[in-house]
Amino acid sequence: MRVVVTAGPTREFIDPVRFLSNPSTGRMGFAVAAEAARCGHDVVLIAGPVALPTPKGVSRVDVVSAREMCDAVLSVVGLPDNPTVVVSAAAVADWRPATCARKKLKKRHMDGVLNLVRNPDILKRLAGVERRAGGNLRLVGFAAETGDAVCEAVRKCREKRLSFIVANDVTEPGAGFGVETNKVAFVYPDGQVEQLPLMSKRSVARRIVRQLQHLYP
């Protein structure tokens, strides 16, 4: 099957030298892409700005902003033939500045107010594609939360028509950004939850890909 993985952060520029972003390193998404390729799947990795090498056997598309990532995902998912799973592991910015200045803004010209507009929700866009795909497209999300990650993950899973969602509380030791480990739960639309112990991101990726393969028996 084709596995499309998004990974890393996005950047939403205020001016040519300033942007809104987050601490995602892309390690989890890159690990999923590497494991899917190792298992023989056709893998496309759509990566935000990260300092990671491309995994062996993976086709990579580099993007910067949320809108660029959305366009890249939709263009790949639109390809015919193979059953496709989209694994949305990227930490996509929900908001962007309403305007981006062409030149660096001077402090004396800034009034301390930044007007924001919503970015496209990539999984919601894909839910519309999934309805028309006749079972040939499955969606898997990630929910990086603080506090009750599972409760929010159940809501997102149902609202975005996901096959399952990988949830984690980024405030737990070893499960946040910039570390080699993760502690996640697989959450399903019916409310079923499979809690995994703290393990390496590579091991989490193996469990995710194993679950992906159950989507097209």
The residues carrying an active-site annotation are 22
Q: What is the DSSP string of the chain?
A: -EEEEEESB--EEEETTEEE-----SHHHHHHHHHHHHTT-EEEEEE-S---PPPTTEEEEE--SHHHHHHHHHHHHT--SS-EEEEE-SB--SEEES---SSPPPGGG--S---EEEPP-HHHHHHHHHHHTTT-EEEEEEEEESS-HHHHHHHHHHHTT-SEEEEEETTSTTSSTT-SEE--EEE-TTS-EEE--SEEHHHHHHHHHHHHHTT--
